[in-house]
Amino acid sequence: MSKALALVVVLFFVLFCGKCYGELRVGFYKGKCGLTNVEGVVQNVVETWHFENKEKDIAAALLRMQFHDCFVKGCDASILLDGLTSEKKAVPNSSVRGYGLIDAIKEALEAECQGLVSCADIISMATRDAVVLAGGKWYDVETGRRDGDVSLASNVNLPSATISVSDSIKVFASKNLTQYDMVYLLGGHTVGVARCSLFKDRIYNFNKTGGPDPSMSPWLLAELKDKCPRISLIFDNTYPLDVKTPSLVDNSYFQEIKKGNGVLQIDQQIALDELTKNIVDDTVNDPDFYTKFGEAMVKLGRVEVLIDEQGEVRKSCRVVNKKPFIFGGIN
C-alpha cells in the first residue's frame, strides 16, 4: 500500500469512524443480536404495558425517571439499583415510577441477547417510545451507554420546584444543557402530576407572606385550594402539571403557564422571567415543538454517560453484576 493510500485510509477512519466508538450513536445495537431488532423489542414491551394499562401514565413516569437518573451522576441507570441507601430511597425519588416496566423490558432483551443491552439505554429508548404513545413525535435515540455500579441517596441533589430561573439555568449549564434545553425539558411537565406538598406554600404562604403567589391565576388558585386544603386528612393529594391535556405530550403546558396556570413555582416563573419568557412565548404555538422537545431529550441522554469499558452492562437492572473472584482476594 502506498503512503498516500495509507494516509487516505487513516483519514477515513478518523473522519468517519471516529464516531463509531468512544461515544453514543444511533443504531448502536444494530446487527449485534442476530436478526433481533433491539429497539423493536423495547417498543413492543412499552406498547403492551401502555395498552394493557399495567403502568399509569407511562410517559410521565419514564420522563421523570430519565431526568432523575441523568441529573445524578449521569445517565447510568443508578436510579434503578435497589438498596437501603440507594438513590431510590432519596426523598425526591419517592415519586419515581416505572421500575416494573424497565424490569420487563430487560427480561425480554436478556431472552434475546444476553448481557448486551444496558439498563441506561433501556431507560432512554423506553422513554422515547412512551412519549410517542402520549402524542409526541418520534426522535432517534443514541445508544451505547454503560451502567453505573454506585447508587447513593446522598448523591441525589435535584433542582427543587422553588428554584429560581437563574439558578436553574446554572444547574442545567453544569450538565451542558442550555436555557433553551431547560425550557423544553421542563415542557415534559405536559404530562404527569405533582404532590400538593410541592406547591402548597404557593397557595397559602408564598414567600412567608401569609397569602398566595400573585402570579397564579384566580382560577388555578381556586382549583388548588379545593384539591389541596390547608388542613387535610389525606396525606398528599396530587394535581396535574398541565391543567388542559395532562396525558398528552404537547405544548399546552406552555399555553397554560402563559395564562398563570403553572402549578409549580419554576413552571410559572419561566413564563415571567426575562431570561426565559421569550423562549416560552415562541414555544406556545410553535409547530416544531415536538422536534425541539425530542432534541432536548437526546441532549439530556448524553449527560455524563459511561461508555466503552466504563461501568458494566447489568444482568439485572436492580443489582450490580457479581465481580469475578480471583484467588488471593485480588480483583
Active site residues: 68
CB-based burial label for 251 (10 Å; 0-12, 13-18, 19+):
buried
- The Cα-based distances of 37 to 6, 109, 248, 255, 309 in angstroms read 36, 10, 27, 38, 24
Tell me how far apart the alpha carbons of residues 261 and 277 are, in angstroms, rounded to a whole number: 15
159 is in an annotated binding site: yes
Tell me how far apart the alpha carbons of residues 78 and 89 are, in angstroms, rounded to a whole number: 12
87 is in an annotated binding site: yes
Nearest to 319 by CA among 133, 162, 149: 149
69 is in an annotated binding site: yes
212 is in an annotated binding site: no
AA letter at 172: F
189 is in an annotated binding site: yes
214 is in an annotated binding site: no
What is the phi/psi pair of residue 329, to 5°? 80, 10
301 is in an annotated binding site: no
Beta bridge partners of 26: 142
CB-based burial label for 119 (10 Å; 0-12, 13-18, 19+):
buried
Tell me how far apart the alpha carbons of residues 318 and 94 are, in angstroms, rounded to a whole number: 16
Which residues are known binding-site members?
A: 69, 72, 74, 76, 78, 87, 159, 189-190, 242, 245, 250
Which residues are known binding-site members for Ca(2+)?
A: 69, 72, 74, 76, 78, 87, 190, 242, 245, 250
Which residues are known binding-site members for substrate?
A: 159
Which residues are known binding-site members for heme b?
A: 189
